[in-house]
Amino acid sequence: GNSVTQMEGPVTLSEEAFLTINCTYTATGYPSLFWYVQYPGEGLQLLLKATKADDKGSNKGFEATYRKETTSFHLEKGSVQVSDSAVYFCALSSGDNFNKFYFGSGTKLNVKP
Amino acid sequence: NAGVTQTPKFRILKIGQSMTLQCTQDMNHNYMYWYRQDPGMGLKLIYYSVGAGITDKGEVPNGYNVSRSTTEDFPLRLELAAPSQTSVYFCASNDRRNTIYFGEGSWLTVV
C-alpha cells in the first residue's frame, strides 16, 4: 500500500541553524512527492514537489530530493528563520492514482531567535 | 482569488446534533476531498469525489456523508455528532496537475 513516515517533532532550532526533516515512503507504482507547510490557524500550503526519481524540488530556500533507492524525500534548509516555524507534512500521490494523496503525521518546527 | 472556501470556520455541536460543513471551489477542479486532522496527527481522508455526481469513501468515512451535485460544491454532513468527531476539517481540490489545494479549515468541537 501507500504510506508516508516522517520524523516526530517537535524540532527546535536556533535561527540560522541547518534543518533536516526526514521523510520516507512506501508506494505502488511511481509516486509524486510533496512537502506541505501549515502555519498556525491556517490550511496546508504546497511548499515544494518532485514528480520523478532524482528530481529536486525547491522553494523559499527549502529543498528536497526524490531518492527512489532509499524511498526518501528529506526536507532541508541551510539557514532557518523564526518565520519558518510551522508544521511540515510530507505527502505522496500514488503512481497508480495521482488523485489520491497520502500524508505523513507532520513535524512541528520551532525556530527560536 | 478565492480558491477553496470552507464554512463555518468554528462550530460547537452538542452530541447527537447534525450539521453540514460547506466547501466550494472556483478553480473548476474535478477532484475534491475532505480530510480531518486530529490534534498532533496527520490528515486522514474522509471522502473524495472525482466529479459531479461521483463520490467515494476514504479511510475514515463512518459518521459522515457527502454529496457532489455541482463541480464547485462538496458539502460534508455529520448526522449524529459524537465527541470522536471533534477535529479540524479540511476541504481540498486537485487541479489534475498533481497539486492539491486546501481550504483554511473548519474547527469542530462536539460536547
* Substitution target from B102, B104, B106, B107 for chain A, most A beta carbons within 10 A: B102
Residue among B4, B90, B94 whose CB faces A99 most closely: B94
pLDDT band at A97; cut points 50, 70, 90: low
Q: C-alpha angle A66/B104/B70, rounded to 5°? A: 95
Q: How many Cβ atoms are within 10 Å of B70's Cβ, its own excluded?
A: 10
Residue among B31, B48, B102 whose CB faces A44 most closely: B102
pLDDT band at A1; cut points 50, 70, 90: confident
At CB < 8 Å, which residues of chain A contact B? Answer: 32, 34, 36, 41-46, 49, 51, 89, 93, 98-101, 103-106
Q: Work out the average pLDDT over A3-30.
A: 93
DSSP A106: -
Q: Which residue of A has its CA nearest to B59?
A: A102
Tell me the Cα Rg of chain B.
13
* Per-residue pLDDT tens digits for B41-95: 788 999 999 999 999 999 899 999 999 999 999 999 998 999 999 999 999 998 7
Q: Do B45 and A106 touch (CB under 8 A)?
A: no
A45: chain B residues, CB-CB within 8 Å = 102
Q: Work out the average pLDDT over B2-29.
A: 95
| 3-state class (DSSP) for residue B84 | helix
Q: How many Cβ atoms are within 10 Å of A54's Cβ, its own excluded?
A: 10
Asked if the model's pLDDT at residue B96 lies above 80, the reply is no
Residue B47: per-residue pLDDT: 95
Asked if the model's pLDDT at residue B2 lies above 80, the reply is no
**One-letter amino acid of A8:** E
Q: Work out the average pLDDT over A43-49.
A: 92
Residue B71 Cα distances to B2, B29, B44, B58, B105, angstroms: 15, 7, 23, 19, 20
Residue B12 grid coordinates? 460547537
Residue A113: per-residue pLDDT: 94
Residue B64 grid coordinates? 459522515
Residue B97: per-residue pLDDT: 67
Asked if the model's pLDDT at residue A33 lies above 80, the reply is yes
**One-letter amino acid of B41:** M
Residue B96 grid coordinates? 489534475
pLDDT band at A7; cut points 50, 70, 90: confident
The average confidence (pLDDT) of chain B is 92
| CB within 8 Å of chain A, chain B residues 38-57 | 40-43, 45, 48, 50
pLDDT band at A75; cut points 50, 70, 90: very high
pLDDT band at A96; cut points 50, 70, 90: low
CB B91 within 8 Å of CB B34:
yes
Residue A98: per-residue pLDDT: 63
Q: Work out the average pLDDT over A75-99.
A: 89
